[in-house]
């Protein structure tokens, strides 16, 4: 008989670009100027789309919206690491991943306006609609990854979950199966420090959220989520492993929700300006801009022209969203493959107010 250590684990932290936009030469991935500019432009477009969305909600032209501000790098860099045939299932706060996959902006505006059609994506974008219930999409993501593996395809599945979402049973059940079945899945925990008004410190007693992978036999890493290069590198490596049969990876991206939880929330009630101001210094876009400038890939004129393009693209998408005549029947039709009796009753009740035809 003896007492011996049967397991020892550790978690690495990866940062490639520091807050001044200086890259660690040993860690810097060899990316083409094209992909670096695409990454920057996607983050810029995300910020502009995000800003427009909050304004539209405030003007009563769109429904409740969950701002991305400050978290642009995570969803953008992770989605750009995907191959054409891979799949993605984001949360409500990584909708920039859809933009990366080629989902038209008007679809996203439509969704946030409450039009079901907004999550009906074009063929080939390989994107699943997100779920509002926290964590319920994770068993789906494992199932999809399992199906890809069973079909013998060399494709991977990428999904995201918030720091709050890691407390849901679905998260643990999903990681458990992902590990046992060795599915081609990459799970990115977007640790933005808050789950509405609940801070990260009250979410879990573990030192990192990444280390939760250790319990399920899944390789894990923590990355600076405001460093697009670190996110891109960690997700790319994990996707390569997933596609080549080496199983799942858990990545914790440490970032910060600079804005409110949703347009229905007031964060000044539960967090300090000091904390928010500290994170302002770590802005993912500013950091990347400095990096590109050092590489002679950025000029004021280049960014101004890109912003002009995005502003036009956004205006056109908003016009399309506003011209779309939604059908309130859709909210009943798309819940199940066949409408259930109770939904039929609710639909009939709705028709009493709006009539049976399209409004």
**134 near ligand TPP (CB under 6 A):** yes
Q: Is 270 a catalytic residue?
A: yes
Contacts of 24 (CB under 8 A, 6+ apart): 15, 16, 17, 18
Pick between residue 209 and residue 314 the one whose CB is nearest to ligand TPP: 209
Give the contact letters, 180-219, x = binds to ligand TPP (CB under 6 A), - = no. Answer: ----------x-x-xxx-----------------------
Tell me which of 47, 257, 282, 329 binds ligand TPP, using CB under 6 A.
257
What CA–CA distances, in Å, run from 319 to 63, 107, 117, 263, 327? 16, 12, 16, 22, 18
Q: What part of residues 93-112 is at the interface with ligand TPP (CB under 6 A)? A: 93
**170 near Mg ion (CB under 5 A):** no
Specify whether the backbone of 247 is left (phi greater than 0), alpha (psi in -120 to 50) or beta.
left
- 245: DSSP letter: T
**137 near ligand TPP (CB under 6 A):** no
> Residue 52 binds which entry of ligand TPP, Mg ion, none, with Cβ cut-offs from 5 to 8 Å by kind?
none
In three-state secondary structure terms, 328 is coil
CB of 247 to ligand TPP, least distance (A): 24
Tell me which of 163, 170, 237, 283 binds Mg ion, using CB under 5 A.
163
State which residue has the least CB distance to ligand TPP.
162
Query: Annotated catalytic residue: which of 257, 287, 289, 329?
Result: 257
Neighbours of 145 (CB within 10 A): 30
CB of 265 to Mg ion, least distance (A): 12
Q: Which residue has the tokens 């974008």?
A: 125
CA end-to-end distance (rounded Å), the chain:
77
Q: How many residues bind Mg ion (CB under 5 A)?
A: 5
Tell me which of 118, 164, 184, 219 binds ligand TPP, using CB under 6 A.
164
What are the tokens at 352? 């009493």
**Farthest CA pair distance, the chain:** 78
CB of 188 to ligand TPP, least distance (A): 12
CB of 262 to ligand TPP, least distance (A): 8
Tell me which of 162, 184, 247, 267 binds Mg ion, using CB under 5 A.
162
Pairing status of strand 220-224 against strand 249-254:
parallel
Candidates 211, 231, 278, 159; CA nearest to 14 is 231
Pick between residue 193 and residue 290 the one whose CB is nearest to ligand TPP: 193
């Amino acid at each position: 008989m003896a007492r011996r250590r049967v397991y020892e684990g550790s978690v690495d932290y990866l940062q490639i670009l520091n807050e001044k936009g200086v890259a660690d030469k040993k860690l810097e991935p060899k990316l083409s100027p094209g992909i670096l500019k695409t990454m920057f432009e996607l983050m810029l477009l995300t910020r502009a789309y995000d800003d427009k969305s909050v304004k539209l909600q405030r003007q009563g032209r769109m429904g409740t919206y969950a701002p991305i501000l400050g978290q642009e790098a995570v969803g953008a860099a992770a989605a750009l690491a995907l191959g054409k045939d891979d799949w993605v299932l984001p949360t409500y706060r990584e909708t920039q991943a859809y933009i990366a996959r080629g989902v038209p902006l008007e679809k996203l505006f439509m969704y946030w306006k409450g039009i079901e059609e907004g999550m009906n994506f074009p063929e080939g974008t390989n994107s699943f609609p997100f779920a509002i219930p926290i964590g319920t999409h994770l068993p789906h993501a494992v199932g999809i990854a399992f199906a890809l593996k069973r079909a013998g395809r060399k494709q991977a599945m990428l999904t995201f979950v918030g720091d709050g979402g890691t407390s849901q049973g679905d998260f643990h059940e999903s990681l458990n199966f992902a590990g046992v079945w060795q599915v081609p899945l990459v799970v990115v925990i977007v640790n933005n420090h808050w789950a509405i008004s609940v801070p990260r410190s009250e979410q879990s007693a573990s030192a990192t959220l990444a280390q939760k992978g250790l319990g399920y036999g899944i390789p894990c890493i923590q990355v600076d989520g405001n460093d697009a290069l670190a996110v891109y590198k960690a997700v790319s490596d994990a996707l390569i492993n997933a596609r080549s049969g080496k199983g799942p990876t858990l990545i914790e991206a440490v970032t910060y929700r600079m804005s409110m939880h949703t347009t229905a929330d007031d964060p000044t009630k539960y967090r300090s300006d000091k904390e928010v101001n500290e994170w302002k210094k770590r802005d993912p876009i500013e950091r990347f801009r400095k990096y590109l400038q050092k590489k002679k890939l950025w000029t004021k004129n280049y960014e101004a022209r890109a912003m002009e393009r995005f502003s036009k693209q956004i205006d056109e998408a908003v016009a399309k969203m506003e011209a779309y005549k939604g059908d309130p029947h859709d909210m009943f039709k798309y819940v199940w493959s066949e409408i259930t009796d109770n939904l039929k009753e609710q639909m009939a009740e709705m028709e009493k107010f709006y009539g049976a035809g399209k409004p």
